[in-house]
Amino acid sequence: MTKFRIEKDTMGEVQVPVNVLWGAQTERSRNNFKIGVPASMPLEIVYGFAYLKKAAAYTNCELGVLPEEKRDLIAQVCDEILEGKHDDQFPLVIWQTGSGTQSNMNVNEVIANRAHQLAGNTIGEGEKTLQPNDDVNKSQSSNDTFPTGMHIAAYKKLIETTIPGIEALHKTLESKSKEFASVVKIGRTHLMDATPLTLGQEFSGYASQLAHGLKALKNTLPHLAELALGGTAVGTGINTPKGYAENVAGYIAKFTDLPFITAENKFEALAAHDAIVESHGALKQLAVSLNKIANDVRMLASGPRSGIGEISIPANEPGSSIMPGKVNPTQCEALTMVCAQVIGNDVAISVGGMQGHYELNVFKPVMAANMLQSAQLIGDACISFDEHCAKGIEANTDVINKQLNNSLMLVTALNPKIGYYKAAEIANTAHKNGTTLKEEAVNLGYLTETEFDQWVKPENMVGN
């Protein structure tokens, strides 16, 4: 049977389980928003709060509004949170108030109650060692802490997970481009035969897509590094000591070892989350690129006997519960599903970005959660696709050469010699009769076998 203690907030008394660190406001939210239970608020946001609460404590102490002993207690609990020691003390869901107030208070209450324990006291007994609002939340508002936490979390996720994953796959695609540089194959446009190119050139396009997407993503980082903390309720910085915004950003940069700065305009930082929209837009661009790459790979590898089959990909696991020996392009399928999720997340983030009414955006939690999910998914999926598919791609040169030499579009090389219309007549006749280009070119009297062999060379049709 669960035992309870009594916690109080401005709305009165609340029963809270005795074995938890959270308090009254967390418990109210836990009971009022049973949507998507169990907890769905990403821990990365909680850790972002831990960084900023520690930084705020140091700044408040430095500016003379918080005693050192309270600073040290707050910092100690924040370090414990960052070590993952209290992960189970953050039970709230994404689907709460749009400012994330309850999550802010969840962190404040956990820090205050844990500090009470560290001071040698029992939670629920005696006067609190730290007050959640007056001490832990000093010089802060949920309206500037939550966007600060989401920026910290998103920035860290991008540089620790997303960007390394993309860079690893990009490196492999560049390597494959060089490896396949001399493999001449038939090109395809509109899913129909086209003029030749090399398999290396084809892969160079994939590598270039990721390079541009990676550059676009990195270009969003400076905006994401701007922090709202110091704006408090509406952006004016009410109830903060002079110099607070700059100092607290400096401490966050120090604690995270990342280039965070205070936002130039706090009104934008609270009322609009364009930095999240911008960064996720770059993730959407990458999702579009990755979807194209994965689809090309699985179509090029289709078969093994009744498809295109120009490349082979690793056989990682059985592909069917009924068809023995079947192997499927599972990494391609996983990656394209990730891309679909990211593009869906972008819609939610775009809609969320529109919900800045006057001085506050009220879709912060869902924007943060979708951003973090996309960043994690793309990073993980790139690593998985790289390790279990891209690195093992091989060229099936026999199939490539057969399809290349059988293509009617090699006739394009004759355009400068005999003109478009005669060349088209050769191709159409060969297709109708099921013969080769060379046979029909000679039969129609437009050139000799020697001329055909001299002029129609696939390796000379792939550019410089």
Is 327 labelled as part of a ligand binding site? yes
Is 306 labelled as part of a ligand binding site? no
Given the residues 40, 86, 116, 190, the one annotated as active site: 190
User: Catalytic annotation on 40?
Assistant: no
180 CB-contact burial (10 Å; exposed 0-12 / middle 13-18 / buried 19+):
buried
What is the C-alpha separation between 460 and 464, in angstroms, rounded? 9
Name 100's Cβ contacts closer than 8 Å, sequence gap at least 6.
Answer: 45, 142, 145, 146, 149, 364, 365, 368
Q: Considering only CA atoms, which of 463, 464, 462, 329 is closest in space to residue 404?
A: 462
Is 445 labelled as part of a ligand binding site? no
Is 141 labelled as part of a ligand binding site? yes
Backbone angles phi, psi at 13, to 5 degrees: -90, 145
CB neighbours of residue 339 within 10 Å: 26
Which residue reads 């478009």 in tokens?
A: 420
Is 350 labelled as part of a ligand binding site? no
Is 321 labelled as part of a ligand binding site? yes
Given the residues 212, 320, 357, 431, the one annotated as active site: 320
Is 405 labelled as part of a ligand binding site? no
Is 457 labelled as part of a ligand binding site? no
What is the C-alpha separation between 178 and 176, in angstroms, rounded? 5
Is 37 labelled as part of a ligand binding site? no
150 CB-contact burial (10 Å; exposed 0-12 / middle 13-18 / buried 19+):
buried
CB neighbours of residue 225 within 10 Å: 19
User: Catalytic annotation on 357?
Assistant: no
Which residues belong to the active site? 190, 320
Binding residues: 99-101, 141-143, 189, 321, 326-328
Binding residues for substrate: 99-101, 141-143, 189, 321, 326-328
